[in-house]
Amino acid sequence: MSRSIVIIGGGLAGLFCALKLSPLPVTLITRAPLGDGASSVWAQGGIAAAIGVGDSPESHARDTIAAGAGLVDETVAYEVAREASARIDDLLRYGVPFDRTLEGALALSREAAHSQNRIVRVNGDLAGKAIMSALVSAVQATPSIQVMENIRLERLLTQEGKMTGITALSTIKDEQITFQASDIILATGGIGQLYAVTTNPVEACGDGLAAAAEAGAELTHLEFVQFHPTAIDIGRDPAPLATEALRGEGALLVNAQGERFMLRHHPDAELAPRDIVARGVFEELAAGRGAFLDVRAALGKTFGTRFPTLCGTCATAGISPENPIPVAPAAHYHMGGVKTDRNGATSVPGLWACGEVACTGLHGANRLASNSLLEAIVFANRIATKLKRSNHPVVFSPPAKMCPVNVGKHDEKDMITLSRMLMSKYVGVIRNAQELTTAIKELTYSSHQRDISKTLENRLYTCLLIAKAALQRTKSCGAHFRNDHEKV
């Protein structure tokens, strides 16, 4: 009996898995052209790996466990930290030009809550772009990988509880396509776009989660959404990020009266953990006092040369660095997802998940910076290793059965805007039972409208799953903060 493998998603997780599966034939479908529409391309910091002198995987695992607020699977944390070095070697072989010291070793930088310098990076803050550019070239040079762009997963198909294929939408032709496959690797990324303010690309709207849930897969920890505290609030969607490095350099968070409001929330003020800073910023905005990042004293005239991208973004938005920069918390990373075992297998035979769509147990209630790219490559590799062990021959899965698609009768743009607003207002940085119940009621109403497209149905379904999970976890924990219940 032959098998066929389909990977859904062209971010780091999907591409790495396809390369690791080579020479087995795989079809990789992605919603955007290869190299676009993926958070991986936008990653600024880099990848965490305990490879420096004096560092150890055990120390990396301990930092990961501490950040995860009691919900990290410790075995997974130790295993992932130990595997990091081998996966960085893989990336070097695929041609990623990581920064080096004058002596030729990999240069390592420090990020929040890491006890050692252990972030490998490229050209300062261009890790994602460089990694993805190297992998896209490697994929294009690998004949066993058949890439199909502008195809959007709608449904996972099962028979007798096993994966049999998918239905997808050609976003260019408005046609539905069916692929048969015995093994499907879900690598569709995160959910940031379910929120009104996010740092994620438009493609990150939880399609994979909805499809997996509908196919009967177990999902977990969906309530844990990490909000970045300092997205630049200039009405751009997605919102540009003001990197944490600015606060590391001494930039201050102030309200419209010039008060350093983080001093009220934590002794480390601007350098407090990400979720605490996000709540501080959120509260200032909710109280109408405004929230701004003031770089003037810390960086002065060096702002433009040291942070050219951000300086350029401000200039285009008409913000002078002579004035504080308006900021807002933005949905940034989803810790929850499709539950997997230590090989990336989900609860449905034939369905695998890696990258941000998966919940492997590594992040618990809060992700440690730069652990997500690492998790993506570790689990992509494990899935490939497991699939390569099977003796059945693998053949390409050709697309079949094209039919015109129901594009929906409603003005879906308005419904999307409304659902994003609901998620930010009621399922956002600070939550309570009353507001979560309101969100669930409104989202349920929208999802019961007749003739909505499958893609909108998936979006609303994922919103509902997150809101319901947030309602169920009555205690605050990590990134999930309830103002109607105490912290665990």
Ligand X SMILES: Cc1cc2nc3c(=O)[nH]c(=O)nc-3n(C[C@H](O)[C@H](O)[C@H](O)COP(=O)(O)OP(=O)(O)OC[C@H]3O[C@@H](n4cnc5c(N)ncnc54)[C@H](O)[C@@H]3O)c2cc1C
> Residue 255 or 419: which CB sits closer to ligand X?
419
Buried b / exposed e over 158-170, threshold 16 CB at 10 Å, is: beeeebbbbbbbb
Q: Which stretch, 31-39, 277-285, 412-420, 436-444, contacts ligand X (CB under 6 A)?
A: 31-39
Q: Does 362 bind ligand X (CB under 6 A)?
A: no
Number of residues written out for the chain: 488
Q: Does 37 bind ligand X (CB under 6 A)?
A: yes
Site for ligand X in 227-246 (CB under 6 A): 241
For residues 213 and 156, what is the distance between their CA atoms, to the nearest angstrom? 9
Can you tell me which of 4, 27, 39, 255 binds ligand X, judged by CB under 6 A? 39
For residues 259 and 252, what is the distance between their CA atoms, to the nearest angstrom? 10
Can you tell me which of 46, 326, 329, 344 binds ligand X, judged by CB under 6 A? 46
> Residue 241 or 299: which CB sits closer to ligand X?
241
Can you tell me which of 26, 28, 51, 153 binds ligand X, judged by CB under 6 A? 153
For residues 338 and 383, what is the distance between their CA atoms, to the nearest angstrom? 14
Q: Does 88 bind ligand X (CB under 6 A)?
A: no
Report, in Å, the least distance between residue 474 CB and ligand X.
28
Report, in Å, the least distance between residue 200 CB and ligand X.
5
Token pair listed for 232? 């630049």
For residues 79 and 85, what is the distance between their CA atoms, to the nearest angstrom? 11
The alpha-helical segments, DSSP class H, found in 336-453 are: 371-388, 412-426, 433-447
For residues 474 and 460, what is the distance between their CA atoms, to the nearest angstrom? 22
For residues 309 and 293, what is the distance between their CA atoms, to the nearest angstrom? 16
Question: Cis before residue 201, ω within 30 degrees of 0?
Answer: no
Report, in Å, the least distance between residue 54 CB and ligand X.
22
> Residue 43 or 51: which CB sits closer to ligand X?
43
> Residue 43 or 440: which CB sits closer to ligand X?
43
For residues 22 and 19, what is the distance between their CA atoms, to the nearest angstrom? 5
Per annotation, catalytic residue among 118, 121, 247, 274: 274
Q: Which stretch, 10-18, 138-146, 406-414, 441-449, contacts ligand X (CB under 6 A)?
A: 10-18
What is the DSSP-derived secondary structure letter of residue 278?
H
Q: Does 356 bind ligand X (CB under 6 A)?
A: yes
Size of the site for ligand X (CB under 6 A): 44
> Residue 151 or 436: which CB sits closer to ligand X?
151
Q: DSSP labels for 311-354?
A: HHHHHHTT--TTSPEEEEEEEEEE--EEE--TTSB-SSTTEEE-
Measured between alpha carbons, how far apart are the two ends of the chain, in Å? 51
Ramachandran category for residue 178: left, alpha or beta (phi over 0 → left; psi -120 to 50 → alpha):
beta
* Contact assessment for residue 338 and residue 357, using Cβ atoms and an 8 Å cutoff: yes
Can you tell me which of 4, 27, 40, 476 binds ligand X, judged by CB under 6 A? 40
Q: Does 344 bind ligand X (CB under 6 A)?
A: no
Can you tell me which of 167, 200, 255, 313 binds ligand X, judged by CB under 6 A? 200
For residues 464 and 175, what is the distance between their CA atoms, to the nearest angstrom? 27
Q: Does 428 bind ligand X (CB under 6 A)?
A: no
Token pair listed for 141? 């040079």
Q: Does 118 bind ligand X (CB under 6 A)?
A: no
HSE, side-chain direction, 13 A CA sphere, residue 348: 29
Q: Which stretch, 34-42, 58-66, 256-264, 401-409, contacts ligand X (CB under 6 A)?
A: 34-42
Can you tell me which of 4, 5, 6, 11 binds ligand X, judged by CB under 6 A? 11
Report, in Å, the least distance between residue 108 CB and ligand X.
14
Q: Which residues contact 251 (CB under 8 A, 6 or more apart)?
A: 270, 293, 294, 295, 298, 299
For residues 247 and 268, what is the distance between their CA atoms, to the nearest angstrom? 11
For residues 209 and 220, what is the distance between their CA atoms, to the nearest angstrom? 10
Q: Does 453 bind ligand X (CB under 6 A)?
A: no
Can you tell me which of 14, 68, 337, 344 binds ligand X, judged by CB under 6 A? 14
Token pair listed for 49? 């790996």
Residue 274 is a catalytic residue: yes
Q: Does 187 bind ligand X (CB under 6 A)?
A: yes
Can you tell me which of 57, 68, 165, 189 binds ligand X, judged by CB under 6 A? 189
Q: Does 338 bind ligand X (CB under 6 A)?
A: no
Q: Does 8 bind ligand X (CB under 6 A)?
A: yes
Torsion of CA 409, 413, 417, 423, to 10 degrees: 60
The residue type at 31: R
Can you tell me which of 18, 28, 38, 359 binds ligand X, judged by CB under 6 A? 38
Q: Does 397 bind ligand X (CB under 6 A)?
A: no
Q: Does 12 bind ligand X (CB under 6 A)?
A: yes
Q: Does 10 bind ligand X (CB under 6 A)?
A: yes
Can you tell me which of 5, 6, 7, 9 binds ligand X, judged by CB under 6 A? 9
Active site positions, annotated: 274
Binding site for ligand X (CB under 6 A): 8-14, 29-32, 37-40, 42-47, 127-128, 152-153, 187-190, 199-200, 203-204, 207, 241, 333, 355-357, 370-373, 376
